[in-house]
Amino acid sequence: MKGDERHVYGPRPVGALVSRLTRAAFRRRAPATAQVIADWIAIMGPAIASVTTPRRLSGGTLTIACAGPIAMELQHLGGEVMARINTHLGSNTVKALRFVQTLEPVQPPAALPHQADPAKVAAIEAVLSDLPEGELRTALASLGRAMATQFNRPRSR
C-alpha cells in the first residue's frame, strides 16, 4: 500500500467509485461516443438502426456506416438525425454527419441477451434495502442490474 493512499472504512459516496469503474471503458471511447453506440437503436429506431451503425465521433462529426442507398436518405434527414442524437445526449455534441457506405449489411448493436446472475441481483437488492423507496433507489438498482448483466456476459476476442 502506498504511503499517500489511505484506506477508507465505512460508506463512500457513489461518485467516488464511478471514475474507477468507468475508466477502462472511457479509455477506448469518449463517453458521448460510447453512449451513442450503446443507445443507437433507441435513438434512431429499429428501421434505421438495422441499416446503419455509428462508427466514431470526432471533432463534432459523427461517422455513420450505412448499407445501400440509405446514406442519401440520411443526408436529407441530417438535421433531424443530429437533433435526435443531441437530444439524447443532452448537449450539442454532434455538429456534422459523415456517411461511409459498407458493402456488407450493417449489424446494429445487439441488445444484451444475457441475464444477470441471480446471486448478484440479490446482493444488490440487499445493499439497497436500507435506502427509502424512490427514484434514487430505483436508479441504483437499475445500474446494479445493468452492471451485473454486463459483467456476466462471455467475453469475445
pLDDT over 90 percentage in the chain:
9
Q: For position 96, what pLDDT does the model report?
A: 92
- Coil, helix or strand at residue 149: helix
**Three cell numbers written together for 127:** 445493499
Q: Which part of the chain is CATH 3.30.300.180?
A: 1-111
pTM above 0.75, yes or no: no
Task: Return the pLDDT at 111.
Answer: 53
SS3 call for 154: coil
- Strand pairing of 61-67 and 52-58? antiparallel
Domain 1-111 fold: GMP Synthetase; Chain A, domain 3 (3.30.300)
Give the pLDDT of the chain (157 residues) as one tens digit per residue: 455 566 667 777 777 676 666 666 555 556 777 788 888 888 888 888 888 888 888 888 999 998 778 888 888 988 999 999 989 888 888 999 999 888 665 554 555 456 677 888 888 888 888 888 888 888 888 888 777 776 655 554 4
pLDDT in tens, 88-119: 888 888 999 999 888 665 554 555 456 677 88
